[in-house]
Amino acid sequence: MSRSRVLFVVESGTDVRLVDGLAEHFQLSIIAREIEGGRAINWPSSTEIPTIIGPKGRVEFARFVFRALIRRNPDFDIALVQGYSLAALAANISRQFTSKPLLLLVCSPVEAYYRCRLTNPNGRPYQQHEATLLDFLARANAMAAPEYVVLSEHLENVVRRHGARRVNRIPIYGVDTQLFAPPQESKSDIRKKLGLPTDGTLIFFSSRIAPEKDSETLLRAVKRLVDSGHNIWLLHRSGGYKHFQEDAKRFGLLDRVVATDAVHPHQQLPLDYQACDVCVQASREEGLGFSPLEALACGTPVIATSVGGLKETILNGQTGWTYPVGDHVKLSLRIADVVLNPEEAQRRANKGRLLVSQRFDRRLVFRQFADLVANMTGTPQEVHA
């Protein structure tokens, strides 16, 4: 049985877990914008995928995408385009010269993330003309785009406010619940293996350092707990870990922090979740949030802000603990709850793992996406176990 040829257009970098899942189900090729100081795909894929790296400037990349989709029209069955920014609009306009279906993949609320710069610039100042352009592009794409794929109900509401008509809610890239699973050995043994502190409470914070992720509130909460006598450690993995270390030093917490660059999502990341006592997602805005889902799949309790797509998965009293955005006092109390009530923490984590298995398992969500592509292209898909 033949597989649909999917051309994936990536403007702002993407995750290898999404790329690998697409490659398992489709004949995948990629056009990606060059990311200055970073990678178009965060880790090498497990399979060889034809990839073209376009210009790093967003305007230049949009022109590149427009020409490439027209020129390569015979080589793909459907275009999957990341987001609803300039490259997406170029891809939509190119449809006037091609006959191929197009899907916009929306994983984050771009305008909401940008608004976080108003109060938390993190080196990236808010500029009104950029905010206006983002709003224009969102609405222009909604007028032109025939079909969207979004990760959550929250993101569906976002794009429908733009004017989107046909919206499919499929949380790709999902969670590999066989890889992200409860540990088979003690947390102490895993920590020794990873060179992590074996005493006290270990908190995992894996978010990138960005205005919307609010690492500062987490540091304030940990500072409050440490000052009151709690033995707390913070584990952080991201490309912005040096900035996190600088912030920790400012709060007098540098000796309480283990921070490194991001680790491979298959080779070590599951061990990090398994080693930790709790995972904190401190976002000011969030499209869905896969880190909490991966933590729950590993049986690790989760504390998250009650915002965006997180409200659909981290339910207070059921699958985790929640707190108001930016409230470091409430966050510190939630962390103390997890520490003082390990049986309740495990109950909520177990319920969370069941939620992940039923709704977010990668095999399930990629089958759903493959069915959507088959309906749009008229190409039956291979069945993957």
Q: Could you give the domains of the chain?
A: 5-174+361-377 (3.40.50.2000), 187-359 (3.40.50.2000)
Q: Is 192 exposed, middle or buried (0-12, 13-18, 19+ CB in 10 A)?
A: middle
| Whole-number Å distance between alpha carbons of 289 and 279 | 12
Question: Tens of pLDDT along 123-148?
Answer: 678 999 999 999 999 999 999 978 99
Lowest mean pLDDT among 7-16, 36-45, 136-145, 232-241: 36-45
| Whole-number Å distance between alpha carbons of 172 and 298 | 19
| Whole-number Å distance between alpha carbons of 171 and 107 | 9
Dihedral sign of CA atoms 242, 247, 248, 250 in order: positive
pLDDT band at 206 (very low <50, low <70, confident <90, very high): confident
Question: Tens of pLDDT along 178-202?
Answer: 999 999 999 999 999 999 999 999 9
- What pTM value is reported for the model? 0.94
Q: What percent of the chain has pLDDT over 70?
A: 97
Mean pLDDT, range 211-240, rounded to an integer: 95
Mean pLDDT, range 33-61, rounded to an integer: 93
| DSSP states along 162-205 | HT---EEE--TT-B-TTTS---SS-HHHHHHHHT---SSEEEEE
Give the number of other Cβ atoms within 10 Å of residue 96's Cβ.
8
Residue 55 and residue 33 in contact, taking contact as beta carbons nearer than 8 Å: yes
| Whole-number Å distance between alpha carbons of 90 and 188 | 52
Residue 280 and residue 331 in contact, taking contact as beta carbons nearer than 8 Å: yes
- The SS3 call for residue 55 is coil
Residue 152 and residue 169 in contact, taking contact as beta carbons nearer than 8 Å: yes
Dihedral sign of CA atoms 173, 176, 179, 182 in order: positive
pLDDT band at 120 (very low <50, low <70, confident <90, very high): confident
Mean pLDDT, range 148-157, rounded to an integer: 98
- The predicted structure's pLDDT at residue 381: 58
- The predicted structure's pLDDT at residue 123: 67
Give the list of residues 6+ apart from residue 136 with CB closer than 8 angstroms, or none: none
- The predicted structure's pLDDT at residue 166: 95
- The predicted structure's pLDDT at residue 260: 95
Smallest CA-to-CA distance from 21 within 8, 9, 40 is with: 8
Give the list of residues 6+ apart from residue 291 with CB closer than 8 angstroms, or none: 206, 207, 279, 281
Lowest mean pLDDT among 111-120, 221-230, 275-284, 358-367: 111-120
pLDDT band at 73 (very low <50, low <70, confident <90, very high): very high
| Whole-number Å distance between alpha carbons of 222 and 203 | 9
Mean pLDDT, range 37-56, rounded to an integer: 92
- Between β-strands 148-150 and 51-54, what pairing exists: parallel, antiparallel or unpaired? unpaired
